[in-house]
């Protein structure tokens, strides 16, 4: 799914109006009906709504939606800055329609503090949409600040007011903190970063029938990876294949006290489908690995830490889980990278060793995949003010080094050497535990070994990782799920992928 800027979204609306048999007020009705239907379907207990409307088209959506909710049996009250003020053309049309219904009151913002908000009242924010380009000020800032203190369920239409579609606004911005954001047609970048996404609550994308031709023809560098897109990358397993058709994967890692990390990575390689799996680890982990991962072959790389990276050609390599940063390990890894030319996966202590000297970045083979969390990224490339600027720095470095960067976050971003960004939509806070990254390393190494290209390996691998975590959270809760629970759910993810892919044939 493409992610467009606020300007592109406005153009998308205009293109739809110009090229399809629909005018702007009809498109507003369509969007408002989508919102009203969703609220009516999901709000069986809360049947009273207070709708806050601005003077622009987002307010027009609010007026139309309020009228539709009333017709669906809701008690609805609407508040605006000034009922006699100036509104956009379409908003004015829908305000007039609303005022023709005697059962809906339209008051001004300065009356809202006297309104009785009971626990069945939902607050619907239709103040500002994607066009907002500056922080809220004056009465709007005060209103949003006051509403944020209410305990009622809050729903935002398109965007929480005070939030930009494209990123952070300058200044001391006040943003409505929604429980739900009902947005139109596509994801916005601000939904997907921690500084801004914390205001959206649960995001619901409503299809309002904007032009597919515009969507296909308009270019963007930003994309969202949902279930359908991930399924399109998945290759069905050939019934007549043998283990040689699915590659040889080798995980390199482990040190005394950190053998668990390499166990998790090895199990993930196996459960993701590699033909042959090897683990290069120190001798101290031999019994643990052979007991927990009997399907994988063990290669000794040292006694208590790895000091030898002797890897046969033809194996796809993933390095880092539990590796440690012993001086001999550092020396051996850097020597290995100087001679190794094929794409590989680098994570954890492999990245920490590389970060010791900026010159080491040039040793990473082209088209390799690195998987830093924010602190590892900072050690590699430097600190940034926020996650938006961190992403832009990652785009620069991916292009400069010709590598793929999997920037781990709540919505992990895959950055390609061309500078394209794929935000992942699966996963949850249950992954905020040690060991989760080791699982991702194993998944990526396995997919790369099976012949997926580097780009598809990253996008599909991150989605699989997050999807397995979502299944684990449903079964165990985010608090209690373990990384091993995520590995156990990989089979269910592949069952779903197979089902979806067979259905599309």
Q: What value does the mean pLDDT take over residues 430-438?
A: 97
Concatenated DSSP letters of 456-496: HHHHHHHHHHHHHHHHHHHHH-TTT--HHHHHHTHHHHHHH
| Cβ contact 92:63 at 8 Å | no
Distance from C-alpha of 261 to C-alpha of 259, rounded to nearest angstrom: 5
What are 93's two structure tokens? 């049309």
Strands of the sheet containing 202-206, edge to edge, are 105-108, 75-80, 48-53, 121-126, 154-157, 180-184, 202-206
What are 145's two structure tokens? 């600040």
Q: What value does the mean pLDDT take over residues 430-450?
A: 98
Specify the pLDDT at position 134.
87
Q: What domains can be seen in the chain, in order of their start residue? A: 6-220 (3.40.50.10260), 231-504 (3.40.1190.20)
**Confidence check: pLDDT of 290 > 90:** yes
Sign, CA torsion 173/120/93/20: positive
The set of long-range contacts for 401-405, using a CB threshold of 8 Å and a minimum separation of 24, is 401/361, 401/362, 401/364, 401/366, 402/366, 402/367, 403/364, 403/366, 403/367, 403/368, 403/369, 403/370, 404/367, 404/368, 404/369, 404/370, 404/454, 404/455, 404/458, 405/369, 405/370, 405/372, 405/377
- pLDDT tier at 505 (50, 70, 90 boundaries)? low
Q: What value does the mean pLDDT take over residues 115-129?
A: 94
Specify the pLDDT at position 282.
98
Distances (CA, A) of 224 to 120, 121, 221, 411, 422: 35, 33, 11, 9, 5
Distance from C-alpha of 396 to C-alpha of 138, rounded to nearest angstrom: 39
For residue 159, the SS3 value is coil
**Confidence check: pLDDT of 255 > 60:** yes
Q: What value does the mean pLDDT take over residues 35-40?
A: 97
Specify the pLDDT at position 171.
66
The structure tokens 């482990």 sit at: 254
Specify the pLDDT at position 157.
97
DSSP 76: E
Specify the pLDDT at position 80.
97
Specify the pLDDT at position 129.
87
pLDDT digits (tens, 9 = 90+) for 473-500: 999 999 999 999 999 999 999 999 999 8
What are 500's two structure tokens? 């979806």
pLDDT digits (tens, 9 = 90+) for 78-102: 999 999 999 999 999 999 999 989 9
Q: What value does the mean pLDDT take over residues 358-373?
A: 98
pLDDT digits (tens, 9 = 90+) for 136-185: 988 999 999 999 999 999 999 999 999 999 988 876 789 999 999 999 99
Distance from C-alpha of 338 to C-alpha of 334, rounded to nearest angstrom: 6
Residue 93 phi/psi, 5° resolution? -60, -45
Look over the chain and give the mean of its residue pLDDT values, rounded to a whole number: 96
- pLDDT tier at 133 (50, 70, 90 boundaries)? confident
Specify the pLDDT at position 503.
65
Specify the pLDDT at position 502.
76
| Cβ contact 201:181 at 8 Å | yes
Distance from C-alpha of 286 to C-alpha of 302, rounded to nearest angstrom: 11
* pLDDT > 90 fraction of the chain, expressed in percent and rounded: 93
pLDDT digits (tens, 9 = 90+) for 265-274: 999 999 999 9
For residue 123, the SS3 value is strand
pLDDT digits (tens, 9 = 90+) for 302-354: 999 999 999 999 999 999 999 999 999 999 999 999 999 999 999 999 999 99
């Amino acid at each position: 799914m493409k992610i467009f800027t606020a300007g592109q979204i406005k153009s998308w609306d205009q293109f739809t109006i110009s090229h399809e048999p629909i005018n702007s007020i009809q498109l507003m009705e369509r969007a408002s009906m989508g919102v009203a239907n969703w609220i009516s379907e999901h709000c069986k207990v809360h049947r009273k709504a207070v709708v806050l409307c601005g003077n622009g088209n987002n307010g027009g959506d609010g007026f139309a939606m309020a009228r539709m909710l009333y017709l669906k049996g809701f008690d609805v009250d609407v508040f605006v800055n000034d009922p006699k003020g100036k509104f956009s053309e379409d908003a004015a049309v829908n305000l007039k329609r609303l005022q023709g219904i005697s059962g809906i009151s339209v008051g001004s913002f300065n009356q809202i503090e006297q309104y009785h908000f009971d626990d069945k009242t939902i607050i619907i924010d239709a103040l500002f949409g994607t066009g907002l380009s500056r922080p809220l000020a004056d009465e709007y800032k005060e209103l949003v600040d006051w509403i944020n203190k209410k305990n009622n369920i809050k729903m935002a239409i398109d965007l929480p007011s005070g939030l930009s579609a494209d990123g952070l606004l300058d200044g001391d911005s006040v943003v409505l903190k929604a429980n739900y954001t009902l947005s139109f047609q596509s994801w916005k970048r601000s939904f997907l970063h921690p500084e801004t996404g914390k205001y959206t609550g649960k995001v619901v994308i409503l299809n309002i029938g904007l032009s597919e031709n515009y969507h296909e023809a308009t270019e963007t560098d930003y994309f969202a990876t949902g279930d359908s897109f991930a399924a399109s990358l998945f290759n069905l397993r050939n019934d007549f294949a043998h283990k040689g058709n699915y590659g040889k994967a080798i995980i390199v890692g482990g040190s005394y006290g950190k053998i668990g990390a390499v166990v998790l990575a090895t199990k993930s390689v196996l459960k993701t489908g590699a033909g042959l799996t090897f683990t290069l680890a120190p001798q101290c982990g031999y019994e643990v690995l052979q007991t927990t991962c009997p399907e994988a072959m063990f290669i000794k790389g040292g006694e208590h830490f790895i000091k030898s990276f002797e890897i046969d050609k033809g194996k796809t390599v993933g390095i880092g889980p539990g590796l440690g940063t012993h001086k001999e390990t550092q020396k051996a890894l850097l020597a290995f990278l100087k001679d190794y030319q094929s794409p590989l996966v680098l994570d954890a202590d492999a990245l920490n060793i590389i970060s010791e000297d900026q010159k080491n970045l040039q040793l990473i083979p082209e088209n390799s995949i690195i998987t830093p969390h924010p602190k590892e990224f900072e050690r590699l490339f430097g600190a940034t003010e926020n996650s938006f600027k961190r992403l832009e720095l990652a785009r620069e470095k991916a292009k400069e080094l010709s590598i793929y960067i999997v920037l781990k976050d709540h919505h992990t971003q895959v950055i390609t050497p061309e500078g394209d960004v794929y935000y992942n939509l699966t996963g949850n806070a249950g992954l905020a535990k040690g060991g989760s990254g080791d699982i991702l390393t194993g998944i990526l190494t396995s997919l790369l070994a099976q012949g997926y290209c580097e780009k598809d390996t990253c996008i599909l691998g991150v989605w699989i990782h997050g999807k397995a975590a979502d299944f684990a959270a449903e079964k165990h809760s985010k608090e209690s799920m373990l990384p091993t629970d995520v590995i156990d759910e990989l089979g269910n993810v592949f069952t779903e992928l197979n089902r979806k892919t067979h259905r599309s044939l």
